Structure 1
Amino acid sequence: MTRIRSMVAAVAVTAAVAGCSTSGTATPAPAPATTDVTVTATTERAEPTNTAPPATSNAAEPYVVGSTRITGSTEHATYDVAIPQLSGGDPAVVAEFNESMRAALQDLIDGHNGQDFALSDGYSTGTTYVGRRVISAEQITDWIAVPPGAHGDSLISTVTIDADTAQPISLGDVFTDLDTGLARLSDRAAKILPTTRAGESFERSGIEPTPADFANWTASPEGMNIHFGDYQVGAYGIGLITVTVPWTDLSDVLAPGMQDVLSS
């Protein structure tokens, strides 16, 4: 048995809770109070995305991407969810990443708002990218009311860690000026979304230049991946939508040195 203390996730750890509503918009759950939750955990290992250790980090061996299954229950929640976990590499980076992923799940467990629900593995698996200087992961978790309603929803959590400093990277860290960066993301998302399942009639209110609309993002060599939750940019039936904004479209608004880290 493993005892995990619930915590408020760092700003680089974000979770979007997309709930059903008659207006078709996503309603985030409020942040809960800190509690102690006892869970059971098992670990499975998988091959890393990139086995090369970060060039400037303290990693003496490659990172290994695995998963840990967290199961248990609280007054309102029952959960059986596998979350990404790291081993190998720089111990400080591994500890920060693993703690951040657990904190993100704990936020979902605690975000009941007085309603009973169950959490389980998502219908698709988010990716974990291990670069030379960055670790970035998307976690997809299935949420369903108890007793069940019409259908469940997919909850998105993302974590991005600087492998040089073992610190989370937030949206505010990414851009020289956050408002300017968000405006650029909104503009580029509006151009890319029509090419996705969201189509030309995508929901424009879901890409306002606000931290909430672009909270779920991950890094990749190609660009900044923006992960949109259920109902955020269209009807429930289109599923989760991810767009990648190329680094070349963001280079002039990124903080100094950030492109080198995030694209590594």
Structure 2
Amino acid sequence: MTRALGLICILGVLALTGCSRDGDAMESSATAAAASAAATSEAPPQTGTSNGVAYGVTPTSVDGFSPDGLGTWKAMRGQLEGGDPAVAKAFNDASAAVVRGQLAHAVAEAKNGTPWSFESSGQVTFRRLVVAQVITSAYYVGSQSETEAGTVVIDSRTARPVTLTDLFANEPAGLRMLSEQTKVLVARENGMTGVMADEPGNAPRRENFANWIPTTDGMELHFPPHQLRMGVPLTITVPWAQLTPLLSPRMADIARA
């Protein structure tokens, strides 16, 4: 079976569907047997409120292995229950998409004939205007490993993802501030003198700051290991004091608890 078909099968499992190919012994029932997917109670359900509406959070796990038997995964994320159905659906769909993308990346990096494994976990947070989740994944192959984080931020008033365009009244100005603060904070937190040099990964471009969530202290940014040439994943928090003047009026409350 080709890697491309293997990827289709794996993502089909995450979507709770089977896959098969003419001439193969694989059937959808075999694929289903390779994975178990259900809302589990491995940890006590979390609860939270956003936009005045209460939600529950249930850890949801999809466990399985690749068609060639060399890859295994335990893909976990938090799933919203109750509350506004439109918000819950938007949040759950976006979270599932993040995990699918992370697993697809692991499959693309897998070496033929080498065992590999993938695992992910999610942390859900509730704020006045949004429900957010950081999904951290780890991919292991041989003696090597790679960790990355993906984020989901859903506006609990509109059931829509909050983009950087939504967040800032003037997106280019917001991106410039994120770029400047990234260079300052990365240098400070890694014992560097002065500020970080200009790099493609800290340039004021939308894709460089795509993984973020709002926290009490500020805008928490997540960077994969090689984006800032540090060799490890990095997390920094840009203080709200630096960002509040740049927020769009509709998003001003995002800086509040």
TM superposition score normalised by structure 1: 0.72
Alignment partner, residue 83 of structure 1: 77
Report the secondary structure of 1:100's partner residue: helix
Task: After TM superposition, give the deviation of residue 142 of structure 1 in Å.
Answer: 0.4
Secondary structure of 2:144's counterpart equals coil
Tell me which amino acid in the other structure corresponds to 2:248: A
Instruction: Tell me the C-alpha RMSD between the 2 structures.
Output: 2.9
Contact preservation (8 Å) 1:198, 1:241: no
Structure 1 residue aligned with 2:60:
68
Alpha-carbon separation, structure 2, partners of 1:167 and 1:196: 33
Q: Deviations over 1:76-135 (max 9, x none)?
A: 8532121121112212111111111111111222333373443113xxx65321113210
Give the CA deviation at 1:143: 1.1
The offset of 1:153, in angstroms, is 0.4
Report the alpha carbon displacement of residue 259 of structure 1 after superposing the two structures with TM.
2.4
Alignment of 1:51-200 (within 5 A): 51-55=48-52, 59=53, 62-75=54-67, 78-111=72-105, 112-113=107-108, 115-116=110-111, 117-121=116-120, 127-145=123-141, 148=142, 150-197=143-190, 199-200=192-193
Stretches of structure 1 that go unaligned for 5 or more consecutive residues are 7-35
Give the structure with the larger helix fraction: 2
Q: Which residue of 1 aligns with 2:15?
A: 4
* Structure whose alpha-carbon radius of gyration is higher: 2
Task: Kindly state the Cα deviation for residue 67 of structure 1 after the two structures are TM-superposed.
Answer: 1.1
Q: Which runs of 5+ in 2 are unaligned?
A: 1-11, 18-27
Q: CA deviation at 1:140?
A: 0.5
Q: In the alignment, what sits opposite 1:242?
A: 235
Q: Name the CA distance, whole Å, in 2 between partners of 1:82 and 1:113.
A: 20
Identify the residue that residue 218 of structure 1 maps to in structure 2: 213
Give me the whole-angstrom Cα distance separating, in 2, the residues matched to 1:174 and 1:5: 34
1:137 Cα deviation after fit: 1.1
Q: What TM-score do you get using the length of structure 2 for normalisation?
A: 0.74
Task: Give the Cα separation in 2 of the matches to 1:219 and 1:235.
Answer: 24
SS at match of 1:127: strand
Q: Aligned with 1:89: secondary structure? A: coil
The separation in 2 between residues aligned to 1:74 and 1:262, in whole angstroms, is 43
Q: Within the alignment, does 1:258 sit opposite 2:257 as a pair?
A: no
Do the aligned partners of 2:186 and 2:196 also contact (CA within 8 Å) in 1?
yes
Cα separation, 2, equivalents of 1:177 and 1:229: 26
Kindly indicate whether the alpha-carbon contact (under 8 Å) linking 1:160 and 1:169 is maintained by their aligned counterparts in 2: yes
Q: Tell me which amino acid in the other structure corresponds to 1:71.
A: D
Find the aligned partners of 1:79 and 1:132 in 2 and give their Cα distance. 34
CA distance in 1, matches of 2:93, 2:99: 10
Shift of 1:47: 5.1
* 1:130 alignment partner AA: F
* Superposition deviation, residue 163 in structure 1: 0.5
Note the alpha carbon deviations across 1:192-250, whole angstroms, 9 max, x for none.
222324644857523111122211111113211111221333433xx432111122211
SS in 2 for 1:144: strand
Matches of 1:198 and 1:68 in 2, distance apart? Answer: 39
State whether residues 118 and 140 of structure 2, in contact with CA within 8 Å, keep that contact through their aligned partners in structure 1: yes
How many residue pairs end up in the alignment? Answer: 221
Matches of 2:185 and 2:210, distance apart in 1:
18
Cα–Cα, structure 1 residues 220 and 114, in superposed 2: closer, same or farther, change >3 Å? closer
State the AA in 1 paired with 2:49.
A
Highest relative contact order (Cα 8 Å, sep 6+), 1 or 2? 1
